[in-house]
Amino acid sequence: MYRDTPHPIHRRDYRPPEFLIDHVELRFDLDPDRTRVEASLEVRRNPAATRGDGTLRLHGEQLDLEEVAIDGHRLAPAEYRVEPDSLTLQRVPDRFRLDTRVRIHPNLNTALEGLYQSGDMLCTQCEAEGFRRITYFLDRPDVMARYRTTLIADKGRFPVLLSNGNRVEERELVDGRHLVSWEDPFPKPSYLFALIAGDLSAIEDRFTTASGRDVVLQIFVEPHNLDRCDHAMQSLKKAMRWDEERFGREYDLDVYMIVAVSHFNMGAMENKGLNVFNDKFVLARADTATDEDFQGIEGVIAHEYFHNWSGNRITCRDWFQLSLKEGFTVYRDQEFSADVGSRGVKRVADVRLLQAHQFPEDSSPMAHPVRPDSYFEINNFYTATVYNKGAELVRMQATLLGPELFRKATDLYFTRHDGQAVTTDDFVRCMEDVSGRDLMQFRRWYSQAGTPHLHIEAAYDAERATYSLLIRQAIAPTPGEPDKDPLHLPLAIALLDPQGRELALRLEGEPNAGEPGTRILELRDWETRLCFVDVPVRPVPSLLRGFSAPVQPRFDYGDDDLLLLLRHDSDGYSRWNAARILMQRVLSTMIADPEAEVPGRFVEAFRGALTDPETDKALLAEVLTLPSESFLGDQMETVDVDGIHRARNTLREILGERLVEELLSVYRDNADVERYAPTPDAIGRRALKNLALGYLMAAGDARALTLCRAQFAGAGNMTDAIAALRLLVDHGGEDGTSALEAFHRRWSKEPLVIDKWFSVQATSSRAGTLGIVTGLLQHPDFSLRNPNRVRSLVGAFCTANPARFHARDGGGYRFLADRVLELDPLNPQIAARLLKALIRWRRYDAGRQALMRTEIERILAAEELSSDTFEVASKALEDTEHPAR
């Protein structure tokens, strides 16, 4: 058990800092074993805070303190107090200079927070609370300071020395060392500090901002990776232009640097002027990276760039406000990708992600509001709720205000709060101030957890030509929130006639009908009744168009209605959703009755969609993908792990058999040999082609196996290669084994490709997968110290292979718990994240519940446990009055 039980931090306890730090001067003598950090802080009392007794408590962890001085006077040890997480000074003056000198040990830092070693480089990660592992500081986002940073290191080993801002000095020192100084003119919170030391090369480009300023753009990588940075650079330039055009935001420094590192806990980090990236989100070449990788890079490069305004110049007052920057920035990157790619497809992908990660989280023991009220460990709150539901809240505000007012509101936000650390409430106030609307009720979205259900009933009165809707909201209790309040939300709706044409809509009491198309209704109450008049025929409602609110709609559609929506709806989300409801209906019947027939009309509808020449191919690929096993499980009272797996495989097989000719021609029509390009059109064609191949392989068609072997052997890009490899491995036998061997041989020097090699094996549905995954832990390429590797093997098995992870004998659960216990002392963030795979144990049958519970208890019983893992494990077992499932 954790020795001193960690205590929660509460939002209500927020107080402005008693002291501020205006300027920071840092001097690093860099060495992987032993780095010396000298800090000189200009400290003063905060006039806006209540005056205390002059005690200054600085955060600091794992620092060997050597010296403390106030205004140049060295303090005796009796004049300060050092604790494991702090340095306390009593009765300090109202304004003074504080000098400290500490030693830190980057090569022992396996948690990858603070200053650490990644391969031959030194790098930093300070968000959320990593800066306190570098030096003593007020490590909270509402303390914003200007930084000057001097880096000293051996020039042979670390020829490149980078930090935030502009380079202001550079010189050689004795003994082969050199010194570089950086100055960042913009005040920033400590979590945005960064430094890099390494033997790196850069590709360089330039960007001229809207007002004519010239900016140097650099991407630093290890020299052998220089040939795979172009896509990242192009993405950066697109993002910079887009932010000027769409949000009026210009870049503000003379240089923008991106560095790719191979050991990184998250995707990337938006440090001011010096983004540090997981190399997975920088490096791409057609033969090494998939379409998904290319799109991921474009999105993440944009996301981190957009943070320069939504996050850096305007930051969070405290970590409860994390969604202020993350929700808004995700919204911005989603809109960017929609604009440069295909809007409908992007929306479907975002909704799929939200439903796959955020909805389950919202009904789990870790459910929390977008603005949480408490946490043990903030690193556990970089969640789908804060990021993706947070983005939906911004999107709803944009919908409620409309594009012009929303732009005015963001302009106001950026000017009003530039240079400040603010709250989500401040953001909403800008929306209110420009629109004159009252968003008091809307704010509940930030404070209330749980996914609302919308139960919608409709009645058509042919005689009166009216169509009335009854819409009821329901929100299940979540931990600590037994009672919920109704939410204010935009419901986008259209009514289609039997030919699939949109009707002009007029609500009762309105003078005239509007143009045919989408109508935004605003819901505020538990129950809303609406009546459309002059409705000539019984319409089919196209509900929640564009997924206008993060809710679960329930409407009792007839199969014919769904077929109509699937065929005719102009809204991509609605078409995709109609297909999914149809598939889900067929699958639930098959789960309940293994002998059930697949209805012929369903197969025909599938055939119709597959051969529809009109539709965007990427959207078609989304529409024709069966709902995932996890999604199907989420829709059930108790997850039927084996039934779902069996039914889904059977349906794939049947569709593959019945549609073999159509699938073969879709495959052929989209199997181009032209040069690889990650354009939306080409990506869509590859997605559709590989989807077709998947169905064909499921049916065990001999021609499919030939095509699959040929595709694997001859693929000119990683998307096709990995798609074929995955299918061959699932097919098994000699084909799978030899493909895996060939793939490893070819890519053994490419860590990011080897990650894929591990993932393919971890997610295979073959029966012996757990044994294979366990064996792979001993593979010379595997390491628990590299988060990408851990995610590619352990993470992939536990989150993307439900049939094997949830094996009835509990082997998967034991495997996970063993890894969590091994990882926790090394890297608590990654350990805690893995453990989340067990958090919804109450959703399973009694046998599995008991097995999962046993493993969580075993983790909680460990001698020492990080606060990260402790929080997840203890919340998983918490018995609340309304245990969320």
Amino acid at 878: E
DSSP string, 323-388: HHHHHHHHHHHHHHHHHHS-HHHHHHHHHHHIIIIIHHHHTSTT---SS-SEES-GGGG-SHIIII
Nearer to Zn ion, 326 or 750 (CB): 326
Which of ligand B3K, Zn ion, none does 868 bind, CB closer than 5 to 8 A by kind? none
Nearer to ligand B3K, 357 or 686 (CB): 357
Binder to ligand B3K among 291, 326, 392, 720 (CB under 6 A)?
326
Beta-sheet strands, E only, within 90-241: 95-104, 114-118, 121-125, 144-154, 160-163, 166-172, 177-189, 195-198, 201-208, 214-221
Nearer to Zn ion, 240 or 454 (CB): 240
Closest distance between ligand B3K and the C-beta of residue 331, in Å? 13
Q: Which residue is nearest to ligand B3K (CB)?
A: 127
Contact flags string 376-395 toward ligand B3K, x per CB under 6 A: ---x--x-------------
Give the residue ranges of DSSP H helices in 511-571: 559-568
Give the residue ranges of DSSP H helices in 454-599: 559-568, 572-592
Which range in 87-95, 267-275, 501-509, 621-629 contacts ligand B3K by CB under 6 A?
Answer: 267-275
Q: Which residues contact 453 (CB under 8 A, 6 or more apart)?
A: 473, 474, 475, 476, 551, 552, 553, 554
Which of Zn ion, ligand B3K, none does 322 bind, CB closer than 5 to 8 A by kind? none
Closest distance between ligand B3K and the C-beta of residue 760, in Å? 27
Give the whole-angstrom CA distance, residue 876 versus residue 885: 9
Nearer to ligand B3K, 374 or 880 (CB): 374
Residue 270 engages ligand B3K in binding (rule: CB under 6 A):
yes
Which of Zn ion, ligand B3K, none does 379 bind, CB closer than 5 to 8 A by kind? ligand B3K
DSSP string, 62-115: S-EEEEEEETTEEPPGGGEEEETTEEEE-S--SEEEEEEEEEE-GGG--S--EE
Which of Zn ion, ligand B3K, none does 728 bind, CB closer than 5 to 8 A by kind? none
Nearer to Zn ion, 302 or 692 (CB): 302
Nearer to ligand B3K, 126 or 286 (CB): 126
Nearer to ligand B3K, 153 or 219 (CB): 219
Q: Is the dihedral of CA 752, 754, 757, 761 positive or negative?
A: negative
Contact flags string 401-440 toward ligand B3K, x per CB under 6 A: ----------------------------------------
Per DSSP, 504 falls in state B
Distances (CA, A) of 185 to 70, 136, 168, 209, 254: 25, 22, 11, 19, 11
The answer to whether 638 and 650 are in contact (CB under 8 A) is: no
Nearer to ligand B3K, 315 or 435 (CB): 315
Closest distance between ligand B3K and the C-beta of residue 293, in Å? 18
Reply yes or no on whether 245 is catalytic.
no
Residue 274 engages ligand B3K in binding (rule: CB under 6 A):
no
- Tell me, rounded to whole angstroms, the distance of Cα 511 from its chain centroid: 45
Nearer to ligand B3K, 326 or 855 (CB): 326
Contact flags string 556-595 toward Zn ion, x per CB under 5 A: ----------------------------------------
Q: Which helix (H) or strand (E) holds 702?
A: helix 702-714
Q: In what order do the strands lie in the sheet with 195-198?
A: 114-118, 121-125, 195-198, 160-163
Per DSSP, 503 falls in state P
Contact flags string 315-334 toward Zn ion, x per CB under 5 A: -----------x--x-----
Sequence length of the chain is 885
Nearer to ligand B3K, 268 or 698 (CB): 268
Closest distance between Zn ion and the C-beta of residue 388, in Å? 11
Residue 303 engages ligand B3K in binding (rule: CB under 6 A):
yes
SS3 140: coil
Closest distance between ligand B3K and the C-beta of residue 330, in Å? 8
Give the whole-angstrom CA distance, residue 567 versus residue 544: 17
Which range in 300-308, 442-450, 600-608, 713-721 contacts ligand B3K by CB under 6 A?
Answer: 300-308
Binder to ligand B3K among 25, 304, 362, 855 (CB under 6 A)?
304
Q: What is the CA angle 374-378-379, rounded to 5?
A: 145
Q: What is the CA radius of gyration of the chain?
A: 28
Give the whole-angstrom CA distance, residue 84 versus residue 64: 10
Q: 43 to 72, contacts with ligand B3K by CB under 6 A?
A: none
Which of ligand B3K, Zn ion, none does 693 bind, CB closer than 5 to 8 A by kind? none
Residue 827 engages ligand B3K in binding (rule: CB under 6 A):
no
Give the whole-angstrom CA distance, residue 608 versus residue 603: 9
Closest distance between ligand B3K and the C-beta of residue 608, in Å? 41
Which range in 167-175, 239-247, 266-274, 554-562 contacts ligand B3K by CB under 6 A?
Answer: 266-274
Considering CB under 5 A, how many residues would be counted as binding Zn ion? 2
Which range in 26-34, 232-240, 299-307, 862-870 contacts ligand B3K by CB under 6 A?
Answer: 299-307
Closest distance between ligand B3K and the C-beta of residue 380, in Å? 9
Q: One of 18, 25, 127, 304 is an active-site residue; which one?
A: 304
Which of Zn ion, ligand B3K, none does 394 bind, CB closer than 5 to 8 A by kind? none
Nearer to ligand B3K, 268 or 349 (CB): 268
Which of Zn ion, ligand B3K, none does 431 bind, CB closer than 5 to 8 A by kind? none
The answer to whether 184 and 146 are in contact (CB under 8 A) is: yes
Closest distance between ligand B3K and the C-beta of residue 736, in Å? 36
- Parallel, antiparallel, or unpaired for β 315-316 and 421-422? parallel
Closest distance between ligand B3K and the C-beta of residue 457, in Å? 40
Which of Zn ion, ligand B3K, none does 127 bind, CB closer than 5 to 8 A by kind? ligand B3K
Closest distance between ligand B3K and the C-beta of residue 833, in Å? 10
Q: Which residues contact 635 (CB under 8 A, 6 or more apart)?
A: 584, 588
Give the whole-angstrom CA distance, residue 476 versus residue 472: 13
DSSP string, 388-413: IIHHHHHHHHHHHH-HHHHHHHHHHH
- Where b means 16+ CB within 10 Å and e means fewer, 450-482 reads bbbebebebeeeeeeeebbbebbbebbbbbbbe
Nearer to ligand B3K, 303 or 317 (CB): 303
CB atoms within 10 A of CB 660: 17
Which of Zn ion, ligand B3K, none does 290 bind, CB closer than 5 to 8 A by kind? none
Which range in 75-83, 261-269, 631-639, 743-751 contacts ligand B3K by CB under 6 A?
Answer: 261-269
Q: Which residues contact 762 (CB under 8 A, 6 or more apart)?
A: 769, 773, 776, 792, 793, 794, 796, 797, 800, 801
- Residue 642 sits at φ, ψ, to 5 deg, of -75, -40
Q: 120 to 159, contacts with ligand B3K by CB under 6 A?
A: 127-128
Closest distance between ligand B3K and the C-beta of residue 326, in Å? 5
- List residues with catalytic annotation: 304
Residues in touch with ligand B3K (CB under 6 A): 127-128, 266, 268-270, 303-304, 307, 326, 379, 382
Residues in touch with Zn ion (CB under 5 A): 326, 329
